[in-house]
């Protein structure tokens, strides 16, 4: 079964995602913070990552996405560059986030606004996994 | 810390201006002199019947009038050219004029009796004028020249090389050959002339110094009020103080928060090695402590000053004397302003008062900057607080809504119609709550982000992105959503990217929201009617806004009655946010509406960049 990792500090949000994705036939694993999530990625890479933005800090999710996509030589996450990432944002109506004055747009595949709409989530996941 | 002062900087500006007005005065005086020579000659020759060389004197009078005419013409021509050139020429004119005047006066002296002539006194007039006009050594030179001319004429007439004209018949005819008389006349003339130059020159030097100080104070007041950049202001103050006092260097040090360390905040004319001399602490610097405790201190000779922290560095820098004044804030000492001279005993009490005035301006600038920093910090803290609070407010709502959506979709079992209805109502109330929280966040961010710098933000791509986002929603409602771009070139407007997106988002979002199924939303972008602006118009066929409340649109939490009754959720913050952002970007908003027919919002924003000219013209 295709495995999806959800990294979110909100247990209700994890539950909602899990219920929707399991109904759609995916295997779901959860992490309550980025550190735990990154360990799980290294231990058993998922097919897709759903990542919350605001956790312990307001930009924790962004930092995690940047670490996973880092092009720096010898990045410890080099093997996981190709795992698609969906960012869960509470930032209203955002399609792209410029991360810093020198950074390009945040290198993730999709943004999904909270609250989660089941159809939208499933459609996005399907699209990314079918590629 | 730059030293690239222009030739006529603000501090030197008064001198050339004096030169210009005084020069005008000189021209007028010379017209009078020429006419007077002619008139006096006629009067003396024909009324008093004095034996004057009449023809020669008339010729002299006409000569004076002729060259004065020539000079007047040349100066008025020079005035047309640019200021710097004019000033340079004016200096040359002063020299030419003085040379011609010398010639005229020498001839006049000779024609009116040489060393016995009453015209000898006229030389004072001229030397006085030169002393007033030109600073430095020239006046002494001119005095010596005047004496030389008088001696030469006396000698030439006494030896018979030049004829001697007897103008005053009562005087002995051989007076000009009387050695005792001639020598006495010349000694008195010379002494009086030099004394006049000396006294006038010292008074003028003092006046010029005051002028410079006043100009420096004006400049300082202007500098303090013209920029919020503290480092620039203090640099300018150090430079103004040094230039006004004619000294090579000045520095400003501010006291750190811990109250001991003196950090260099501005410097003028000091070497890098002097800055690198090491930390300056109040505890190690008795002189600084004395200044802060008792006020300005003049160090007449740095070699005999025990209060210096780095005496050897001071000597290496060539500093022989210094003046140190405190920069006193309202509640605590803020720092020190020092000026340095390469000669000992340079500074006076007067200088101390002057530098203290500059230091007071410095205190104002420092306190303004500190207050500004504190405000900005508060602003940032508030922004951070709002962000966190909003996240905390939003998380439970989005969590709950995400779970509700699972129930609504029947993923946990089919709902009865009543259950479905209740959960749908819950979901809608949550929607409204979420919208309110979102708008509050944006509203607070817009309020606190008022100091963010504005950029050139490309208008059309941003607009297209916003419209794309509403395409699905418009399709759901069977709305025609079109955008017409009435100009080929890219318009960049003065805004922040986030702010511009927010404005367009609100306007397009509102149009889509308040337009019933099957309606149309037409967006257009074009150069504004005023040059240098761009206009975005969003026209819908929606419910419209009652005419009597159009003026209230910018009010926070205001919603028109028909909007409330429509059952469409809204917070009444959207247009308030738009208005606030437009005001910040220097733009304007115009609303036209007919209830039941539709509304057109037109937003005009200033255009920046190369496209400005084209956009304004087309």
A130 touches B at CB < 8 Å: no
Size of interface A-B (CB pairs under 8 A): 63
Q: Which two tokens stand for residue B449?
A: 């982000």
In a domain, B180, yes or no: yes
Q: Where are the domains of chain A?
A: 3-130
Q: Which of B330, B352, B372 is the last residue of a domain?
A: B372
* 8 Å CB contact between B579 and B446: no
B515: DSSP letter = S
Mean pLDDT value of segment B77-88: 72
**First-to-final CA distance of chain A:** 17
The pLDDT confidence band at residue A63, using thresholds 50, 70 and 90, is confident
Compute the distance between CA of residue B559 and CA of residue B563 in angstroms, rounded to an integer. 6
- CA B405 to chain A, closest CA, distance in angstroms equals 7
Helix (H, G, I), strand (E, B) or coil at B150: helix
Q: Within an 8 Å CB–CB cutoff, is residue A93 touching chain B?
A: yes
Q: pLDDT at residue B164 above 60? A: yes
More confident residue, B486 or B244: B244
Whether chain A has a CB inside 8 Å of the CB on B397: the answer is yes
Per-residue confidence (pLDDT) for residue B19, from 0 to 100: 65
**Which residues partner with A66 through β-bridges?**
none
What was the pLDDT predicted at A93? 43
Residues of chain B contacting residue A118, judged by C-beta atoms under 8 Å apart: 405-406, 409, 411
Residue B68 lies in a domain: yes
Q: Is B478 domain-assigned?
A: yes
Distance from CA of B399 to the nearest CA of A (A): 5
pLDDT for residue B404 is more than 90: yes
pLDDT > 70? residue B108: yes
Higher-scoring residue by pLDDT: B594, B18: B594
Using the 3D structure, point to which of B316, B345, B372 is the last residue of a domain.
B372
Residue B558: pLDDT over 50: yes
Higher confidence at residue B387 or residue A62?
A62
Please tell me which of the candidates A19, A58, A90 has its beta carbon nearest to residue B398.
A90
| Residue B594 belongs to some domain of the structure | yes
B5 in a domain, yes or no?
A: no
Look at residue A128 in the predicted model and tell me its pLDDT: 92
> How close A119 gets to chain B, by Cα (Å)?
9
Nearest partner of B19 among B121, B138, B106, judged by Cα: B138
* Contacts with A, B 24-63, CB within 8 Å: none
- Contacts of B204 by beta carbon, 8 Å cutoff, 6+ apart: B131, B132, B135
Q: CB-side exposure of B525: number of CA atoms within 13 Å?
A: 24
Alpha helices by DSSP H, listed for B489-571, are 497-514, 561-565
What is the distance in angstroms between the Cα of B438 and the nearest Cα belonging to chain A?
7
ipTM exceeding 0.85, yes/no: no
Q: What is the mean pLDDT of residues A104-125?
A: 84
Rounded CA separation B605/B588 (Å): 7
Q: Based on the fold, state whether residues B74 and B213 are members of the same structural domain.
A: yes
The answer to whether the beta carbons of residues B249 and B270 sit under 8 Å apart is yes
Pick from A54, A93, A98: which is nearest to B391 by CB? A54
Structure confidence at residue B4 (pLDDT) = 38
Domain co-membership, B263 together with B171: no
Among left, alpha and beta (phi > 0; psi -120 to 50; other), residue B136 is: left
- Which residue among B398, B406, B442 places its CB closest to the CB of A118? B406
Contacts of A114 in chain B (CB under 8 A): 394, 398-399, 401-402
Q: Which DSSP string do the residues of A23-79 spell out, in sequence order?
A: HTT-EEEEESSHHHHHHHHHHS--SEEEEES-SSSTTHHHHHHHHHT--STT-TTGG
- B210, B288: one domain: no
Distance from CA of A71 to the nearest CA of B (A): 27
**pLDDT single digits (tens) B231-261:** 888 888 899 899 888 899 999 998 887 778 8
Whether B388 has a pLDDT exceeding 70, the answer reads yes
The average pLDDT across B583-589 equals: 90
Tokens in use for B610? Answer: 């190369």
pLDDT at A105 over 80: no
The class of domain A3-130 in CATH terms is alpha beta
pLDDT at residue A30 greater than cutoff 90? yes
d(CA B153, CA B150): 5
- The total number of structural domains in chain B stands at 3
B611 in the same domain as B524: yes
Which residues of B are less than 8 Å from A117 in CB distance?
A: 405
Judge: B411–A23 Cβ closer than 8 Å, yes or no: yes
Please report the pLDDT score of residue A51 as a whole number.
92
Residues B26 and B172 in one domain: yes
Give the residue-averaged pLDDT of B274-303: 86
More confident residue, B350 or B615: B350
> In this predicted structure, which of B73-82, B143-152, B327-336, B539-548 has the lowest mean pLDDT?
B73-82
Q: How confident is the model at residue B549 (pLDDT cuts 50, 70, 90)?
A: confident
B176 & B295 share domain: no
Cα B386 from Cα A66, distance rounded (Å): 25
Do B463 and B354 fall within a single domain? no
Has residue B404 been placed in a domain?
no
- Asked if A13 is an interface residue toward chain B (Cβ–Cβ < 8 A), one would say yes
The secondary structure of B551-611 as a DSSP string is: GGTTSTT---HHHHHTT----S-HHHHHHHHHHHTT-EEEEEEETTTEEEEEEEEEEESTH
Question: Which candidate from B403, B430, B434 shows the least CB-CB separation from A16?
Answer: B403
* Structural domain of B492: 452-617
Return the pLDDT at B184. 92
Q: Is the pLDDT of residue B445 over 90?
A: no
Mutate to test the interface with A, among B399, B424, B445 (most CBs of A within 10 A): B399
User: Does B285 reside within a domain?
Assistant: yes
Of A54-58, A112-116, B256-260, B325-329, the range with the highest mean pLDDT is: B325-329
From B329, B354, B372, give the residue that closes a domain: B372
Decide: B559 and B435 in contact? Cβ < 8 Å.
Answer: no
Contact at 8 Å (CB) between B586 and B602?
no
**Is the same domain home to B131 and B275?**
no
pTM metric for this prediction: 0.55
Whether B127 contacts B196, CB under 8 Å: yes
Q: Which of A32, A92, A111 to mutate to test the interface with B (most CBs of B within 10 A)?
A: A92
Distances in Å between the Cα of A117 and the Cα atoms of A32, A72, A126 are 21, 36, 14
What kind and span of H or E run contains B209? helix B179-226
pLDDT value, residue B17: 58
Residues 6+ apart with CB under 8 A from B459: B490, B491, B492, B493, B500, B525, B534, B536, B605
State how far the Cα of B593 lies from the Cα of B596, in Å rounded to an integer: 9
Residues in A 45-84 with any Cβ partner in B closer than 8 A: 54, 58
For residues B414 and A126, the answer to whether their CB atoms sit within 8 Å is: no
Section B61-69 average pLDDT: 93
Percent with pLDDT over 90 in chain B: 26
Neighbouring residues of B440: CB distance < 8 A, sequence distance ≥ 6: B390, B571, B573
Domain membership of residue B408 (yes or no) is no
Q: Which helix (H) or strand (E) holds B140?
A: helix B138-158
Whether B47 and B188 map to the same domain: the answer is yes
Q: What is the CATH number of the domain that holds B309?
A: 3.30.450.40
Residue B18: the pLDDT is: 61
Burial of B278 (0-12, 13-18, 19+ CB in 10 A): exposed
Query: What is the mean predicted confidence (pLDDT) over B304-320?
Result: 86
Q: What is the pLDDT of residues B169-213, one digit of tens each?
A: 788 888 888 889 889 999 999 999 999 999 999 998 888 888 888
Chain A nearest-CA residue for B393: A90
Beta-sheet strand order (sheet of A85-89): A27-31, A3-7, A48-52, A85-89, A110-113
Edge-to-edge, what's the strand order for the sheet holding B261-268?
A: B280-281, B261-268, B249-255, B333-341, B321-328, B297-299
């Amino acid at each position: 079964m295709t495995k999806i990792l959800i990294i979110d500090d909100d247990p209700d949000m994890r539950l909602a995602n899990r219920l929707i994705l399991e109904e759609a036939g995916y295997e779901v694993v959860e992490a309550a913070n980025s550190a735990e999530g990154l360990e799980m990625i290294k231990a058993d890479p998922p097919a897709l990552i759903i990542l919350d933005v605001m956790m312990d800090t307001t930009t924790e999710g962004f930092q995690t996405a940047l670490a996973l996509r880092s092009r720096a030589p010898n990045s410890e996450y080099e093997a996981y560059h190709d795992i698609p990432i969906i960012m869960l944002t509470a930032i209203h109506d955002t399609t792209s986030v410029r991360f810093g004055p020198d950074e390009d747009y945040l290198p993730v595949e999709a943004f999904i606004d909270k609250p989660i709409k089941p159809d939208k989530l499933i459609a996005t996941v399907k699209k990314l996994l079918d590629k | 810390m730059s030293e690239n002062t222009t030739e006529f900087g603000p501090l030197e500006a008064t001198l050339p201006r004096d030169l210009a007005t005084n020069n005008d005065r000189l021209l007028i005086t010379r017209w009078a002199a020429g006419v007077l020579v002619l008139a006096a000659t006629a009067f003396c020759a024909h009324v008093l019947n004095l034996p004057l060389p009449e023809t020669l004197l008339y010729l002299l009078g006409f000569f004076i009038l002729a060259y004065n005419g020539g000079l007047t013409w040349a100066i008025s021509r020079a005035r047309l050219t640019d200021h710097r050139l004019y000033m340079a020429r004016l200096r040359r004119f002063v020299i030419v004029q003085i040379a011609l005047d010398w010639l005229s006066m020498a001839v006049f002296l000779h024609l009116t009796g040489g060393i016995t002539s009453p015209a000898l006194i006229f030389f004072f007039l001229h030397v006085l004028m030169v002393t007033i006009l030109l600073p430095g050594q020239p006046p002494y030179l001119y005095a010596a020249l005047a004496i030389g001319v008088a001696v030469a004429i006396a000698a030439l007439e006494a030896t018979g090389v030049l004829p001697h004209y007897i103008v005053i018949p009562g005087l002995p005819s051989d007076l000009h050959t009387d050695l005792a008389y001639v020598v006495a006349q010349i000694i008195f003339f010379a002494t009086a002339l030099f004394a006049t130059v000396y006294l006038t020159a010292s008074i003028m030097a003092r006046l010029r110094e005051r002028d410079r100080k006043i100009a420096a104070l004006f400049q300082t007041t202007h500098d303090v009020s013209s920029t919020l950049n503290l480092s620039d202001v203090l640099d300018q103050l150090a430079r103004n103080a040094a230039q006004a006092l004619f000294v090579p260097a000045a520095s400003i040090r501010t006291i750190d928060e811990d109250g001991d360390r003196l950090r260099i905040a501005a410097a003028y004319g000091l070497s890098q090695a002097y800055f690198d001399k090491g930390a300056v602490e109040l505890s190690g610097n008795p002189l600084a402590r004395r200044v802060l405790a008792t006020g300005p201190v003049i160090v007449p000779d740095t070699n005999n000053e025990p209060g210096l922290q780095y005496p050897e560095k001071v000597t290496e820098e060539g500093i022989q004397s210094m003046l140190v004044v405190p920069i006193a804030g309202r509640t605590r000492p803020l720092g020190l302003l020092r000026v340095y001279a390469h000669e000992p005993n340079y500074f006076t009490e007067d200088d101390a008062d002057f530098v203290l005035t500059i230091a007071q301006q410095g205190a104002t600038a420092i306190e303004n900057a500190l207050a500004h920093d504190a405000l900005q910090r508060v602003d940032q803290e508030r922004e951070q607080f709002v962000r966190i609070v909003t996240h905390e407010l939003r998380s439970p709502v989005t969590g709950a809504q995400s779970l509700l959506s699972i129930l609504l979709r029947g993923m946990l079992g089919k709902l009865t119609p009543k259950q479905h209805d209740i959960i749908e109502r819950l979901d809608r109330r949550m929607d409204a709550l979420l919208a309110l929280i979102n708008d509050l966040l944006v509203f607070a961010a817009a309020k606190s982000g008022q100091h963010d710098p504005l950029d050139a933000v490309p208008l059309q791509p941003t607009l297209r992105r916003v419209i794309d986002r509403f395409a699905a929603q418009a399709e759901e409602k069977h709305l025609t959503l079109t955008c017409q771009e009435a100009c080929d070139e890219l318009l960049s407007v003065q805004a922040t990217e986030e702010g511009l997106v927010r404005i367009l988002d609100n306007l397009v979002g509102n149009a889509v929201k308040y337009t019933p199924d099957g309606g149309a939303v037409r967006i257009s972008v074009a150069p504004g009617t005023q040059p240098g602006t761009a206009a975005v118009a969003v026209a819908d066929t929606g419910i419209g806004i009652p005419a009597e409340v159009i003026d209230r649109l910018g009010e926070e939490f205001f919603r028109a009655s028909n909007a409330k009754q429509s059952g469409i959720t809204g917070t009444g913050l959207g247009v308030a946010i738009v208005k606030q952002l437009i005001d910040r970007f220097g733009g304007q908003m115009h609303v036209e509406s007919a209830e039941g027919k539709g509304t057109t919002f037109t937003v005009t924003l200033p255009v920046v960049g190369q496209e400005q000219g084209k956009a304004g013209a087309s």
